[in-house]
Amino acid sequence: MLSRRHLLGASAAGTLSAAPAGHPASAQGMPTRFQVACMTYVYRAFPLQRALEGIQRAGYRWVAWGTEHVEAGGRRVPVLAPDAPTAEAQRLAARCRNLGLEPLLMFSSIYPEHRSGLDTLKRRIEQAHAAGIPQILTFGHTENGGEALWRERFALLGPLARAAGVVLVIKQHGGETGTGAACARFTRVLNDDGVRVNFDAGNVMDYLNVDPIPDLRACADQVRSFCIKDHRNFPKDEDCGPGYGEIDHYRLLHTVAFTGRVLPLCCENVSAPLLPRRSAPEEVDGDVRRAREFLETVIAGLQRPA
């Protein structure tokens, strides 16, 4: 569920008219309002403020909060600690908005099955509500009877999330939650609008070597956001930025180009394959801008007017 402010701020990546007959998307629905965001995570080796400034200068309107950043003195500091007061979440959201960045998604930073998972996710919902962030990203494992625990916990969390105007989105993380189809089976049974799927094509290909495009088709009705990363199996098995890997983003986003929904596309990896990790934030800036331009080009092509 998105607040009126988030709906009004949604990307106009395409017009709100129906797709014309014969359109390459082969759909007659309303265009998806894609929100191309960057995760602060891609700047995790640098201070959070530098991450926000780099993302803003790279032309983004939306941002997703990552996990932690290296601050002065080499200290690793959480973007927002699980036990942080809601006032701190509000202050961080204000920092983003003062730069012209609307925060769309935050990491839960805990597996749902963890012994503290339920309490931490409850606090994350409170933080997201206070900050005006519409989605909380979580992932974990349901092996060895863990799915029963997930059902129990998400049955409690879903109504809390809906009441707070938040959606808990579950992304693929290997094993029994390694595909979008597997995550969607869980959310369909739960049947709560407060708990849906985040699709991470790179993870699907990386963990299980499954083609993410038919996998997305199997879960598209449950998807409410994307973690954007690409993946290569050759010449080296590694994740990379969109357009650098083996995943066809035209085919991928074609599947959801005309849903009529607001769908955040949050860049989690922007790096080039085979090359060393970036050593300066200015180098990351270029990768961040390229990722945005690539995704916006794909979207513009898929949703072009007749």
Summary mean pLDDT of the chain = 92
pLDDT digits (tens, 9 = 90+) for 165-175: 999 999 999 99
pLDDT of residue 144: 82
The structure's pTM equals 0.91
| 254-261 mean pLDDT | 98
Per CATH, which fold does 4-9+21-302 belong to? TIM Barrel (3.20.20)
The residue ranges of DSSP E strands in 52-165, in sequence order, are: 62-65, 68-70, 76-78, 102-107, 135-138
pLDDT digits (tens, 9 = 90+) for 44-63: 999 999 999 999 999 999 99
pLDDT digits (tens, 9 = 90+) for 145-160: 889 999 999 999 999 9
Residue 24, pLDDT > 80, answer no
| 9-24 mean pLDDT | 37
Contact 197, 169 (CB under 8 A): yes
- Cβ contacts of 294-297, under 8 Å, gap ≥ 24: 294/241, 294/242, 294/243, 294/249, 295/34, 295/36, 295/228, 295/242, 295/249, 295/265, 295/267, 296/13, 296/36
pLDDT of residue 305: 86
pLDDT of residue 7: 38
Residue 28: pLDDT band with limits 50, 70, 90: low
pLDDT of residue 17: 36
